[in-house]
Amino acid sequence: MINPEIYDYTFDAYRKLIADFTENELIPAENEMVEAGAVPERLVKRMAEVGLFGISIPRRYGGLEWNMEQQVLLTLEFTRASCVYRSRFSTVIGLCSQAILDHGTEEQRSELLPKMAAGELVTAFALTEEAAGSDAAQLTTSAVAQAGSFLVNGHKRYITNACWADAYVVFARTDAAVPGAKGISALIVDSKAPGVSSKMPSRMNGHAEAPVGEIILEDVVVPEANVLGGEQGMGQGLTMALRGINHARLHVAATCVGQATRILEETVTHVNGREQFGAPLAELGAVQAVLGECFAEVEAARALVLEGARTFDEGTVPRHRIAAAKLFASEMAGRVADKCLQLLGGEGIVGDHPIPRMWRDVRALRIYEGSSPIHERNLAVAMIRQGKIDGRLPNTYRV
């Protein structure tokens, strides 16, 4: 649970707490995490104690209720450490909590959100399937009505926290369930319910210590009361998904900036301490050019992410701006990681330096929450439809 004293913190005091937690506990434990192949449970508990599971959840439901700009600023702090840590609470603060907050019934919000904020109920967002990735509307998981419940069958994959979650927000097709329910609906499914199982991948390219997984649903009985939003939520699943996805997408963009910041800091330390040709690498013009270019890219992404967050706080979800931030920041992180890895020379491919690990980790961020080609296409379509560019594209960006 969250340390009660934290509720009295100003944002600046809380941000310092998270910065210190990152520097003194998360970063020093990275090698321990790699050796163990998982995030140490003591650190998951500490994340809950310092409130990281509750940063986006309103105080009336036990969270800390920081606004989006504040959440982004916090993300820039804690993602200086391995982004694997973030994955353990990311589905709680973004994808799941926001869908529940905006579309759940009051009973569902009161039951689920306080436990989520305390880190006592880890949730996973079960949308993606083999034939339904970028085109989520093609999912085939079904929820068929029976007496007072639904019978759910399907197979989800690439699900963050699939093997750690206590409950899943499962998106299923309810076309034949009840009158007026045609479409996709979201259901809260207990991960320990009969017929539910999960499976870890045999190998991960990055994020190895918190792998995405598969969820198998075989004749799972889900009570009617677990339909997100109740009767009004039937058939509204993709709208619910979009709310969580846009929130999470901006967090991923901020994660890219946090990771690139750390990579650049580690690189500066390396080039200051490594001598070649009788002088530190940092004195070579070619090295300075790379560092200068990387710094400019990081700062451009930081500004884009913060602007998206501020617009979000104005009351309208700026879908196009969030997409642009995620696209640019994730591609930027990949470029920065690659250039910095090159500056490490042999140390970039041999040994325990953090940059090679982070280089693998940030590659996935160009795929998570909408791949780069999807964002490029959808942003182009939005521009073409408007016919001009004024920095305020119509708010019609689709998943």
Q: Which are the catalytic amino acids?
A: 369
**Rounded CA gap, 257 and 72, in Å?**
10
Helix (H) or strand (E) holding 157: strand 149-159
**Rounded CA gap, 327 and 316, in Å?**
20
Q: Residue 346: CB partners within 8 Å, gap ≥ 6? A: none
- Going by the DSSP 8-state scheme, the letter that residue 120 receives in this structure is S
Q: Which of 92, 190, 192, 106 is nearest to 149 (CA)?
A: 190
**Number of neighbouring beta carbons within 10 Å of residue 11:** 14
Which residues partner with 159 through β-bridges? 213
3-state secondary structure of 254: helix
Helix axes 319-344, 237-273, angle to 10 degrees: 30
Q: Which two structure tokens, joined as six digits, stand for 60?
A: 């009336």
Sign of CA dihedral 100, 133, 304, 321: negative
3-state secondary structure of 121: coil
Helix (H) or strand (E) holding 123: strand 123-126
134, 101, 166, 87 alpha-carbon torsion, rounded to 10°: 50
**Number of neighbouring beta carbons within 10 Å of residue 223:** 12
**Rounded CA gap, 347 and 34, in Å?**
17
3-state secondary structure of 162: coil
